[in-house]
Chains A and B, each alone.
Chain A
């Protein structure tokens, strides 16, 4: 545990000015994500977990605190932190392959090299034959596979995923989770994943950070000592169910608080 954190989130708070009064979205969050770790932030809706991720991505500025990646303080978005959003963010005028190459092209990678890397990722996420299809021809799950491939192809230091499977149906979602673990076990990137789905969090992660309802704070940290490689059978194992129950209890309290908060909002 003495290994220095790859991604260091230090005293992050974020307050919005809304309707004349100040709304505190997240309040004093400290997190250290280790190199090549799959870390997940689990929280009820509206707890500010996406805000935290956006701050790490450099897309939002914290009111207080700082984020450091490999010791360097983050001041804005950059290619060292790839991001996958919940909404479909593929560029509709580019084909699957062109989407995956987008970051490589910006980074000045040579054309043959771009093609090679894109091909590799097209295969890896199981989209062979769809290289030249436009996003409009893809299903929701396929679109998210392209989004993940696009972020990974850019070879970021950290991959940030903001409820990437939130809009998918349950079956597709389960398949995507398996795909993501496989891809992660292969590329072994440091991942910060955000979700409100308890099972998803336990299944994917090495560590799960449970957040409180607004204002978001870290309520608990759950280590997930499940063996890898992981497959869906794991979801019915005793350890998995015990961890899931533990997380469920924690998140339920917060979800109840969150609904009460919304009513008075």
Chain B
């Protein structure tokens, strides 16, 4: 067996080939031969090393890990002499190597199981060969060589994979409908709109492991009989879009997209379509309208996209994470996959922890883990050791769940029964200093703005709810507001055309149910128990604690504080805007909020 002390990787990316990579490689072999180095140094092709926009073909030399660019065939003899004989690095041609480690996805905590996130930061997403090294496209090979369309659909059905976009519809069943639908051509769509604020699981997968999604769409396309797919990616993710395009191009170059894939006779190709900033375009029919070139407005269902979707043809639309699960299920098998998760939902789910929790960011756990384990064991509990108040799950249309739900085992049905949703997997943790009425108002503000306006219950109803909530937070709440809110919520949920309207009242409904006392305090006592709503709080300086150091007066943005040095300072309530800066800068804790 040969032993090589050094390996040279030559990028054979088409851009590098145009710049002379093949000639460069031949020259390298010739020079190494001339110096009697061929048994010590190995040369291998690879897909991509750096940015092909750099000059000249790229090479990477191990074990030093030196990345050389801007080489021409004239430089090769000096390079071989300098680097491989004399042992020095030719600095004028060396370039910094792209770091692939990811600081947004941390090392997993003990209770996590990483599947969808396992490759992020471990492989270079812009080099298809690294995905292939970790068994990428093996599942596709198995599917095209050994499995019929019905086999694939049955496998996904048996896996109990549920749509990760939020609704949790069994993916196998969705594919079965599209497979059985009449019409041609059929389409696969990937929903990469990820509109929930604070959710970035899909973005990480698209940026760090794009081929897992491409492979999932290929397998799905084969199963349902589609030959064309679209990835609808929000415009706010330019890196994801460019990484996807690089990955698609490489997959085409390697014969994994296009005609007669792996000699199977199956054709499939993909295109990226960008969104334009609308939250509602995460809703599948609005998304389809957007791809068609219309304004993103949802349509009545039935007919569902599986029967009549893109351009009226049978269309299967799934979330990024749903597709990313597919190759792993096929390659690693049902026994492995179904060993994780709960009775009704198998596998893992990514979550984005946000808010007042110690460790924010992405995690991945099997279904059935309790909220307590997720927030306290993995999330590290509430920041600053404060008390836990509630967690909102699923994004801006999720319900807020107080302490008594902490032992809830996270699953689609359990969250639904508790008055919340799984959604995309966002979890906003709130501590004791959160005003739940303000939270309801905050999320209603978001969903109201994103309402497309097509149906009256959502367009007008959410605006009315927002007005009422804003009045309550401003201290102008009336007793009839609470029954009015309840009526509005139930009507909007019942009568809205799409999930946005149906979900928008959820935060209001759940906070009315679990935190009614806060609403009542705002309305009847004009008091905000959490001391958040600006119109209902006032700032005072305690005589006992104030040392007259003047720090607060100097930092007040509206000059509302007066006082002599070493004398108790006073806040003028007519000027005070309740911004809270004086409380933050005071070193003696003398500022009190009532």
Q: Is B a genuine binding partner of A? A: no
